[in-house]
Chains A and B, each alone.
Chain A
Amino acid sequence: MSFFSQLLQYVFTGVAVGAIYGMVALGFNIIYNATGIINLAQGEFVMLGGMVMISLTTGLKVPMILGFFISVGIVTLIGAVIERGAIHPLKNPSVMTLIIITVAASILLKGGAMFIWGKQTYTLPAFSSSTKPISFGEASLNPQTIWILGIMAASMIVLAIFFNFTMTGKAMRACAANKLAASLVGVNVKLMVLLSFALSAAIGAVAGIIITPVALMDYDRGTMLAIKGFATAVLGGLGSNIGAVIAGFIIGLMESLGAGFISSSYKDAIALLVLLFVLFIRPGGIMGTTGEEKFKK
């Protein structure tokens, strides 16, 4: 294999992995924007998306497309129920309390998933009927990667339209900017929090469904995805969706190039070193808020 095609292959791998991290990070951002908390159950939403889809399509023989929407719907509902059941009833919770609640939710969801699906690992058939890799010279790309990138791009566009051109989306952004001011002009802040949980559960579920054909899925998968996704969100700047996507690609590429040109044993370490380095220079993340915006609050 020539150096160039090796490099191209590492880039493909990095992009494929990075897209997954980016999707998870998007989920973190949505809730962070509306509530200022880190939802540590985000990885569990991803896992549930994949698992529900597996049950629907391989168990109940629901067609792929229908199954996709039902799964996202179910997980969205679970996200909403968690918000209504555990976050909403609290009068004046501190951020710390809320984060700990999400830890509890994460453990609960993971335990529930283990109870329902057992400890086995599952997979899904690829989305395209042809699983033949697409060749670029000596490098090759898995068709599922194109699906992942496409669906991620579609989700990004839908989110951008939602946040910039709909009233509800704008109201959610208003909450993010200043909760008190938003409620003074008539935005129902608590409803926005509910929406943010539902939305991030939906994004998580989409991520879980599209990665299962390549990455496999089991009840325990959420934690690792959440850690990587959180690192991505921090690198991109908490709250910035564009930042999340860029950071996802950076971490994915660092991992694959690190594994390719240095050593696969140090793959995770290399990605984390890059993260630390970037945060050292820009504590707010790549596209993150700087001191100026914090001052506003």
Chain B
Amino acid sequence: MVGVRKNRLRVVGIFIFVMAFILGQGVIFQGFAAKKPYKIGGIFAITGGASFLGEPEKNTARMIEEMVNARGGIYGHPLKLIIEDTAGDETKAVNAVKKLIYRDHVLAIIGPSRSGTTMAVIPIVEKKGVLLVSCAAAEAIVSPVKKWVFKTPQKDSDAVRRIYEYMNKKGISRIAIITGTTGFGDQGRKKLKELAPDYGITIVADETYSPKDTDMTAQLTRIKATDAQAVVNWSIVPAQSIVPKNMRQLKMNIPLFQSHGFGNIKYVELAGEAAEGIIFPAGRLLAVDTLPDTNPQKDVLSFYKEEYEKRFKESVSTFGGHAWDALWLVVNALEETGPRPEAMRENIEYTKEFVGTGGIFNFSPEDHSGLTKEAFEMLTVKGGKFVVLGED
């Protein structure tokens, strides 16, 4: 009796197993019946010191994925983003790119967030022929031009040019620079020194601070002892907010210019009152409310800002905007050419008048960055907000 019951149980078990197997197959077959998703990789510094870049980039990319799929994907093919975290680390970035290429077989990759990680992954994508649209700023990424590599942020040197042009207009010719000792700060320092002679500007003091410094009065005291007419603070880390505070403490009344790395409203909050009147070049996203309606970027910018802030309950930053531009470039290319990497690459290379958050992109085989210095607008801080400085 017991044996029979056991046997019957076993039969039931096998029956359930077989049914589950068949049903499961059905589900899988159904999956095949729908169109295959288009896979795009995203590698961002979501954790670690550069997370203020990676976090909004990841959020933005996920938002676009949702938007594309909500409208029915790309000719019925859902967009599938595979996002990897580099933690801002070169080794991890390289591993992530290898995984995306060899295991996930992605059609294109957007990111990485940092210039250093981008430079680290370039050899791999170039060798394998995988489209990479970077969200990092350094000019070395696209100069010299690399066949498969594009980038969406504005160029450091253009930010410097905008600052110097403004200084020329205001009759400022002797300046002090204070830069962070990160890759971003160091690149800025080089460009500031390199371009100064072209604009007839003399750098009378050249100071640096490390990203974890808590006090910059020593450096600023040195600057105060010179005859500098303005200070340029070039950095991307929160420590840059200490500079305006310390300047106020030292009663330095000369104007303070910052880089586009100041383009995060949180940095204004950290500096408090001392942030008032800081002048800096940035993409127009930050001051979209004060942008005239005639500006061609106005629509894209307001749309992005509204959607992002609605979804993530935090202020937009220009960094997320770089991912917006990068992913839409790839999605548009996919739509126009289908999933053929070489054709997608060419499509982006010949993209003209693409209105993004960073500016109006005009790519060419000689220019994989697509932006000019007009992509920057001079902004200032007024009443704790970013506003367009205006040409007065």
Contact = CB atoms under 8 A, between A and B. Distances in A.
Interface stretch (B156-164, B212-220, B383-391): B212-220
B209 A20 contact: no
Interface residues of A, number: 38
A12 interface: yes
Interface stretch (B126-134, B237-245, B280-288): B237-245
Contacts of A10: 218, 221
B217 A9 contact: yes
A13 B49 CA distance: 26
Contact of A211 (B181, B214, B221): B214
A168 interface: no
Interface in B232-287: 238-239, 241-242, 245, 248-251, 266, 269-270, 272
A214 B215 CA distance: 8
Contact of B266 (A12, A120, A135, A256): A120
Nearest to A142: B249
B270 A119 contact: no
A210 to B, nearest CB: 12
A215 interface: yes
A140 B250 contact: yes
Contacts of B266: 120-121
Contacts of B184: none
A216 interface: yes
Contacts of A265: 181, 208
Given A133-B251, A140-B249, A260 B214 contact: no
A112 to B, nearest CB: 14
Nearest to B237: A121
Contacts of A139: 221
A140 B246 CA distance: 10
B239 A216 contact: yes
B207 interface: yes
Given A1-B224, A13-B215, A133-B251, A121 B238 contact: yes
Contact of B218 (A1, A20, A224, A256): A256
Nearest to B178: A264
Interface string A256-274: 1101100011011000000
A139 B238 CA distance: 26
A216 B218 contact: no
A9 B250 contact: yes
A176 B225 CA distance: 49
A216 B238 contact: yes
Contacts of A6: 221-222, 225
Contact of B51 (A14, A119, A142, A211): A119
Contacts of B49: 220
A264 B208 contact: yes
A268 B218 CA distance: 13
A173 interface: no
A148 B209 CA distance: 22
A221 interface: yes
A25 interface: no
B181 A119 contact: no
Contacts of B324: none
A44 interface: no
B299 interface: no
Q: Which of A122, A135, A218, A259 has the most CB of B within 10 A?
A: A259
A174 B176 CA distance: 56
B52 to A, nearest CB: 7
Contacts of B219: 259-260, 264
Given A13-B221, A265-B181, A216 B270 contact: yes
Contacts of A245: none
Interface string A193-233: 00000000000000000010011101011001000000000
B251 A121 contact: no
A255 B210 contact: no
A188 interface: no
B139 interface: no
Interface string A111-150: 0001000011111000000000101000110100000000
A274 to B, nearest CB: 15
B66 interface: no
Interface in A230-251: none
B367 interface: no
A26 to B, nearest CB: 17
A123 B215 contact: no
Interface centre among B47, B210, B238 (most CB of A within 10 A): B238
Given A264-B208, A265-B208, A1 B221 contact: yes
A13 to B, nearest CB: 4
Interface string A1-41: 10000100110111011001000000000000000000000
A210 B210 CA distance: 21
Contacts of B221: 1, 6, 9-10, 13, 139, 260
A140 B245 CA distance: 13
Contacts of B241: 121, 123, 216
Contacts of A267: 210, 218
A6 B222 CA distance: 8
B55 interface: yes
Which 7 A-B residue pairs are closest in the complex by CB-CB distance? A215-B214, A121-B238, A259-B218, A224-B212, A256-B218, A9-B221, A13-B217
Given A140-B250, A259-B222, 13 more contacts: A6-B221, A9-B218, A14-B218, A16-B215, A211-B214, A214-B245, A221-B212, A259-B207, A259-B218, A260-B218, A260-B219, A267-B210, A268-B210
Interface of A: 1, 6, 9-10, 12-14, 16-17, 20, 114, 119-123, 133, 135, 139-140, 142, 211, 214-216, 218, 220-221, 224, 255-257, 259-260, 264-265, 267-268
